[in-house]
A = this chain, B = another copy of it.
Amino acid sequence: MARRSDHNRGELHDIALSAARKIALTEGLKGLTARKVADEIGYSPGTLYNVFGDMDDLIIQLIAQTLDELYIYLASVRGEGNPIDDLKLILEKYIKYLEGHRNLWNILFEHQLPNDRSLPDWYTIKLAKLLGIIENALSPIFPSGQEDACANSARVLWASLHGLNSLSEAGKMRTVSAQSFQELAEILIVCFVKGLQQTQKEIDTTMPEVH
């Protein structure tokens, strides 16, 4: 049968992705199957493969959409130029986002591309945008010309937060005294930023700038 063309290719792409999002929100990565997505949009499984290369492709697009969503959410944070305070504000917003999108968000870390494939460029770009928010909060610490060091620190902080979230979420850090993700994340932010500032001070002392 066919040439239903209830939807063109672009529309199909969009409704499939939002069906996937819906399933992911409630059932997580394990529940997100091609057959369920197809069912949800009222097409056969085969049709999905006209629009997406395979499930990995669909999932990466879903993740990219999620990165965009979080970016918009976090971009509304107005900092005051104090790295620790600003990062704590970002953390609060981030946690609020998490609360409503746990299953969706976890897919970002659970999903692993096969070793022989790598992430597309547009994925990297979306990620860079998000990292920019953290870089921006950290930037007062670094003198101009040290943008690379700032970018690296932002990445360290980003990855660390996700390690904390992922492990505390999975209950893989509950030992005797269980702390919440937020408490641990604040320890991380405060200590890491203080360490960065301290490191800069040491550089200033060792190699004082000529005024």
Query: CA of A194 to CA of B170 in the docked complex: distance in angstroms?
Result: 29
Among listed A71-79, A90-98, A146-154, interface-contacting one: A146-154
CB contact under 8 A between A170 and B124, given known A160-B164, A196-B191: no
A190 touches B184 (CB 8 A): no
| A196 → B minimal CB distance (Å) | 5
- Is A199 interfacial (CB 8 A cutoff)? yes
Q: Among the listed B108, B166, B174, B179, which residue makes an inter-chain contact with A152, where contact means beta carbons less than 8 Å apart? A: B179
A175 touches B194 (CB 8 A): no
Instruction: Summarize A's interface: helix, strand, loop or mixed.
Output: helix
- Is A163 interfacial (CB 8 A cutoff)? yes
Q: Which of A128, A163, A166 has the most CB of B within 10 A?
A: A163
A153 touches B191 (CB 8 A): yes
Q: Among the listed B29, B128, B193, which residue makes an inter-chain contact with A176, where contact means beta carbons less than 8 Å apart? A: B128
Interface positions, chain A 153-189, Cβ under 8 Å from B, are 153, 155-156, 158-164, 166-168, 170-177, 179, 183-184, 187-188
| A139 → B minimal CB distance (Å) | 16
- Is A112 interfacial (CB 8 A cutoff)? yes
CB contact under 8 A between A171 and B110, given known A160-B159, A160-B164, A161-B163: no
Query: CA of A108 to CA of B173 in the docked complex: distance in angstroms?
Result: 12
CB contact under 8 A between A159 and B164, given known A175-B151, A187-B153, A192-B195: yes
A-B residue pairs in contact (CB < 8 Å), sample of 30: A30-B112, A106-B112, A109-B109, A110-B110, A112-B170, A113-B171, A119-B172, A124-B175, A127-B173, A127-B175, A151-B177, A152-B179, A152-B184, A153-B187, A153-B191, A155-B173, A155-B184, A156-B160, A156-B184, A156-B187, A156-B191, A158-B167, A158-B173, A159-B164, A159-B167, A160-B188, A191-B199, A194-B198, A195-B195, A198-B198
